[in-house]
Amino acid sequence: MNSRRDFLQKFSLGIGAATLVATAEPVSAAKTLIPDAPKADKQLRVALMGLGGYANIVARGMKECKTAKLVGIVTGTPSKIPEWKQKYGIEDKNIYNYENLNEIKNNPDIDLVYVITPNSLHHKHVLQVAAAGKHVISEKPVADNAKQAQEMIAACEKAGVKFYIGYRLHFEPHTREVVRMREAGEFGKIMHVNNYMGFKSGDPNQWRLKKALAGGGAMMDVGVYALNGARYCTGEEPIWVTAQESKTDPVKFKDVDETITFQLGFPSGIIANCGCTYNFNHSERLHVMGDKGWAELNPAFGYGPIRGITHKGPIEQPDVNHQAYQMDGIADAILNGKPDPNVTGAEGLKDMVVVDAVYESIKKNGAKIFINK
């Protein structure tokens, strides 16, 4: 696999996100958790910034959107422009590069920019988009560290624009059903969480293995899935972290972490065991256990289909296009005044606080790091 996103797209039974369609009606108790069909008379006009593999997946997914529409692109690779114009009907007036991005502020036909550039560029690019007065989505991880995330939130607040993170699973029906069951007390008291996410990285020259562009390795890239999952499985915020790193290929992974296991302690006494890796496949699982029931998603974090089972039986939820659901959900909030979904910059900051603590623990030989709220 050449990238995490290529892996995620292909991992779940080889079904690409762009081809997913609903295969079953959601159970009645979960219907309220699936985003309402947005109003079709208004559309959020979106430009994608960075035209790599995941941007292509988002663009294809947006063809299914009801309230979000792809209208623009920002790229540093001019050779990509003709194909994008042809595939998605992008007009010349909505095409920008990294040098003239500030000019987007004068374009009334673009409402939001979705930043899908390498991780360590998110901070710079979100600040630029906010300064241009446009709403912004940043892909995960939001930044290199919590300090940068705070700066991004502050810049967007100052500019009066909305700031979201690409937590697509917060819109995914199987995931939402697990959260609903936890909130309804169907698992009883949560006792333990066990999450893992990873894949075997391919090209040793890819940007994800260069710290200057990636910010970190497996923890930054896929560890946030296990971490964020632990937070929505418990409904709590961790108060301490311990972490360990293992590296079997110090040449390939000389700049970034290869495999990290970490433990999260929560106020109620729950402990979550989590892990992430860049060095083996078939590691995509979320498992939450309570004193009255349990749930497992496996696959849990890829582009679909997500599959799950609980103590009550299989989770019967529809397979959906994650990217379309995410974009329509965010558009609904911006255009129709709905409450912000739980994918704002603040959610990204909470993850980065923990990621910082994970790396601090590793530097201190696995010491317990207490998180100050």
Report pLDDT digits (tens) over 235-277: 999 999 999 999 999 999 999 999 999 999 999 999 999 999 9
Burial of residue 250 (number of CB atoms within 10 Å: 0-12, 13-18, 19+)? exposed
Q: What element of type H or E holds 313?
A: strand 313-314
- What share of residues in the chain are helix, strand, coil (percent, to 5)? 40, 20, 40
Residues serving a catalytic function are 140, 225
| Average pLDDT of span 105-126 | 98
Rounded Cα gap, residues 222 and 36, in angstroms: 29
Rounded Cα gap, residues 129 and 290, in angstroms: 43
* Whether the Cβ atoms of residue 285 and residue 297 lie closer than 8 Å to each other: yes
* Whether the Cβ atoms of residue 112 and residue 334 lie closer than 8 Å to each other: yes
Half-sphere exposure of 362 (CA within 13 A, CB side): 20
- Write down the pLDDT at residue 40: 55
Enumerate residues 6+ apart whose C-beta is below 8 A from 121.
Answer: 50, 115, 213
Rounded Cα gap, residues 273 and 227, in angstroms: 10
* Whether the Cβ atoms of residue 154 and residue 123 lie closer than 8 Å to each other: no
- Write down the pLDDT at residue 41: 73
Tell me how far CA of residue 297 lies from CA of 130, 175, 292, 314, in angstroms.
36, 8, 18, 10
* Whether the Cβ atoms of residue 51 and residue 73 lie closer than 8 Å to each other: yes
| Average pLDDT of span 105-130 | 98
| Average pLDDT of span 273-297 | 96
CATH number of 173-317+344-370: 3.30.360.10
End-to-end CA distance of the chain: 38
**Cis preceding linkage at 299, omega within 30:** yes
- Write down the pLDDT at residue 372: 80
User: Can you tell me whether residue 128 is helix, strand or coil?
Assistant: helix
| Average pLDDT of span 171-198 | 98
Pairing of strands 240-246, 308-310: unpaired
**Cis preceding linkage at 141, omega within 30:** yes
| Average pLDDT of span 66-85 | 98
Tell me how far CA of residue 257 lies from CA of 93, 117, 356, in angstroms.
41, 20, 14
Core vs surface per residue 190-218: b (16+ CB within 10 A) or e? bbebbbbbbbebeeeeebbbebebbbbbb
Q: Could you tell me what percent of the chain has a pLDDT over 90?
A: 86
Q: Which of 17-26, 68-77, 346-355 has the lowest mean pLDDT?
A: 17-26
Query: 2 pLDDT exceeds 90?
Result: no
- Write down the pLDDT at residue 103: 98
Q: Could you tell me what percent of the chain has a pLDDT over 70?
A: 89
- Write down the pLDDT at residue 10: 38
Query: 29 pLDDT exceeds 80?
Result: no
Query: 26 pLDDT exceeds 90?
Result: no
Rounded Cα gap, residues 168 and 4, in angstroms: 15
CATH 3.30.360.10 residue window(s) in the chain: 173-317+344-370
Compute the mean pLDDT over every residue in the chain, rounded to the nearest whole number: 90
CATH 3.40.50.720 residue window(s) in the chain: 34-168
Whether domain 34-168 has CATH 2.60.120.650: no
Query: 8 pLDDT exceeds 90?
Result: no
Query: 6 pLDDT exceeds 50?
Result: no
